[in-house]
Structure 1
């Protein structure tokens, strides 16, 4: 077909409320009951077929240890080799498939997710990753749908970017996929990230090895099933669940490694980068490395800030999904005058948050993801409580008897270098530094210098000069900068997401900038009337 098509105009998926009496609430409750009652077997999916083997890991609800959700057959080195073989075998046909045909698969996946698969992805994300209905809806449904639809539109925009042609010439750009396979490594905290990191390179014609986080295996299983129902050809995306060390050793040493699409910790990403560097001479091409690696995200308030807006932003920004977002507010800088006005309200609202099982829709948040996170956060709170220069003023309790529960916690400190202001704990722990009202300029420099991360940040002020000063002084402190809003909740197509410094390569997921990384452009020049002469005019003899 030679038609020059227009892809469907993307719009952000509406967020459902799940309020009492709504049909979506009743439907989600039924699906939660069904999935919690029926454990699934999760196995590597290679060439669209699950590989058998002994299930070696149990996935249980983080908010209710007694509920078994899945038995995971962890991937081996042999599985990794088979997956790479399948990806390589599929590569030629997939790369030569017309863009419209590839796009149609992912547009169909978006419609399946928006319709018949919505409850399954939301419910599996709630049960397996500890999200409330609101947090699952904006992640597993809306953001992932948005990624699929907007990526198709951005990809079409990229393909339409063509060079000029001078007289007698026709110049074109061929946006080829990378020469090899892409290794996508995804985290536990966002089903949308787990969906986007393998599908964005695949949309651009690449084949992918996908290693989801072990703690996200339950919803990953359903996402892979959805992709197969959408018509994904064999070998295009191969899912390898498990801890990942064996898989990474095989993938990173393979000559056909063309790129890594990663979201996770700084330590792991730096380790991947080091392995790639050590193996550089053995690759067929220089691998593309795209990574988002966390943050120590700030909220800084000016004395002119709206007190109620600051309190709401801190509670939601720090404690939604128990702070397990790379964008979550984990340090705040408040002028003393404002602090004296909001302290009691902030403490009361934090202490009043309902924390419990995600199946109880009255809860604001739930448990943290696993024992490792629980232990790390418990130790951090104990350290803060024992510090001479810090004080736990709200929360601070932990309970592992039924789930991995850590209460939303506020810690004040007069030490601007205290761990609570500089270390990423990835949980419901907010550090508070109170400054003298006249030292706003000084505090902005402190915010910029305290953390090695640069992912998200927010400024609250009603004086425009204060907003402008913060924007200028903190220009490199956050890849996503918010004015009078919490530093979480980036929307695809509206706020392309990513940060620099220790927070990653800032390739902006959900944008044209990210998709550019998954193509290797080829310039084509065609001379429509080739010259036949050899000599140039300046070579002619003088008259």
Structure 2
């Protein structure tokens, strides 16, 4: 047991490498990428610290070259889900008993490993498996993941330090116990950092975890497990499985020791899992914690006083970075008629210079969407807009799947604020713009707030402070992360805790103390130093 009140290293955001042309850092990363691209990587499940291989091998191909085979993973079945649950529960008592300083050390070491010897490796794995360019990989799989690990340790100590007051003769205290049972992490393809944060944030607080990463993110997930093993994470604390999503959910969520779900993915899947939990509520030993970040239809609301260059740049960055596959990507914009032509021309001139292709070339700004389903979905939205009476493709609209799943940055203009691509989540490089009459500013604010079921991110552009204040109030519930004169993407751990409500999730704010609170169960303790010896109170005489 520790004989000190330890202070963890002060958390700071990891500096982002610029990867300037010809720099040593870009040469090192691209060299690692090329080496890993040629390898045939074998990825087993990790259950109880052991590599688990099966008869079923699933080939891994890259989104920007779907003919290229860079390895395979071993697919499991429900017996492996059972194994993972058993391994987690077997590891629980010892992990729970470990001092918080020891847990902190593991994840702080993991952060330093990612910042150092594993930086190129996890970035290259993300580039190959998820088709991110050097900058998008750096800000995600390196910097944001590192930030989650370091800041979560700091947030944990702040949480543990929150203690009640005590009257004379009494010592009151609170301890923050891990949840009883095991936790389940279900993670997405689009952010390696999110994929790593969901299981590690729960484990940091003393919980044991069954982790099911997206089958499109398995390469970087493997690197994450390699880092955690080298950092000293004990066997069985986090168990990584590659199994059918629906069957796995049914198996896990029916277990009496299921204690918590940490989820990022689609709204429909999360709602289905919530229903399963409700249907099984009478089986559980305790009420499970349910945390989810799901879909978004993120907006940019523009006032006629806005800086035109800032609006155009925010739309190009917000809509098309990582091919619009960020939960927070700018997907719908409301622009006043008086400045629309200027904004449109500036966007068109910027988009014309965008290069599209493999992440191996660092000058490519846009890469491929994640898979064939995503490609076909984007293609269908573009084709329907081309044929629509309510909408028109005004920029881009090209797509090509000969080698990779490439969809060019596309802007659709619509006269219908409820047109499908204005209200439905697409998750691709497609921005839809509704042009409104300047005098309809107030009614357009209502449209922004009410026309979709989501409430994840959004931004307002204006120079007029009264307009900013009006939008700030009118859109109070329209976004969990609200930006003023900035794009609606790019939340930084420790600076802008991330999450939304309505159909976008439970708004438990990943990268904050609020999120960690969900993975503990508090126990209040009162110790009386000199207890009463007579039942009579003074009023009894």
Equivalences for residues 26-425 of structure 1 within 5 A:
26-425=27-426
1:340 shift after superposition: 2.1
Distance 1:81 1:477 in 2: 41
CA contact (8 A) 1:10 1:149 kept: yes
CA contact (8 A) 1:357 1:363 kept: yes
Distance 2:344 2:118 in 1: 44
Distance 1:106 1:440 in 2: 48
CA contact (8 A) 1:186 1:193 kept: yes
Scaled by the length of structure 1, the TM-score of the pair is: 0.98
CA displacement, residues 377-432 of structure 1 (integer Å, 9 cap, x when unaligned): 11111111111110001111111100001111000001011011100000000000
Distance 2:478 2:76 in 1: 38
Distance 2:21 2:356 in 1: 19
Deviates more, 1:339-348 or 1:268-277: 339-348
Structure 1 stretches of 5 or more lacking a match? none
> 2:466 matched to which residue of 1?
465
> 1:432 matched to which residue of 2?
433
1:54 shift after superposition: 2.2
CA contact (8 A) 1:55 1:74 kept: yes
Q: Confirm or deny that 1:477 pairs with 2:478.
A: yes
1:107 shift after superposition: 0.1
Distance 2:21 2:350 in 1: 23
- DSSP 3-state at the match of 2:251: helix
> 1:511 matched to which residue of 2?
512
Distance 1:386 1:70 in 2: 41
CA contact (8 A) 1:72 1:242 kept: no
CA contact (8 A) 1:408 1:428 kept: yes
Distance 1:386 1:462 in 2: 37
1:80 shift after superposition: 0.6
Distance 2:63 2:535 in 1: 76
Deviates more, 1:54-63 or 1:241-250: 241-250
CA displacement, residues 253-281 of structure 1 (integer Å, 9 cap, x when unaligned): 10000000000000000010010011110
Structure 2 stretches of 5 or more lacking a match? none
CA contact (8 A) 1:103 1:203 kept: yes
Distance 2:403 2:244 in 1: 24
Distance 2:121 2:136 in 1: 14
Distance 1:243 1:80 in 2: 10
1:343 shift after superposition: 1.7
CA displacement, residues 458-494 of structure 1 (integer Å, 9 cap, x when unaligned): 0000010111000000000000000000000000000
Distance 2:400 2:477 in 1: 38
Distance 1:174 1:367 in 2: 47
Deviates more, 1:380-389 or 1:476-485: 380-389
- DSSP 3-state at the match of 1:18: coil
CA contact (8 A) 1:455 1:479 kept: yes
CA contact (8 A) 2:78 2:243 kept: no
Distance 1:220 1:242 in 2: 14
CA contact (8 A) 1:107 1:148 kept: yes
Deviates more, 1:144-153 or 1:15-24: 15-24
1:57 shift after superposition: 1.4
Distance 1:85 1:453 in 2: 37
- DSSP 3-state at the match of 1:215: coil
Distance 1:348 1:438 in 2: 28
1:439 shift after superposition: 1.4
1:352 shift after superposition: 3.1
1:444 shift after superposition: 0.6
- DSSP 3-state at the match of 2:112: helix
Distance 1:354 1:243 in 2: 36
> 1:17 matched to which residue of 2?
18
> 2:442 matched to which residue of 1?
441
1:539 shift after superposition: 1.9
1:441 shift after superposition: 1.1
How many aligned residue pairs are there? 540
CA contact (8 A) 1:69 1:218 kept: no
Distance 1:236 1:363 in 2: 39
1:342 shift after superposition: 2.0
CA contact (8 A) 2:169 2:528 kept: yes
Distance 2:52 2:108 in 1: 28
Distance 1:351 1:258 in 2: 51
CA contact (8 A) 1:350 1:409 kept: no
- DSSP 3-state at the match of 1:531: coil
- DSSP 3-state at the match of 2:217: helix
Deviates more, 1:343-352 or 1:17-26: 343-352
RMSD: 0.9
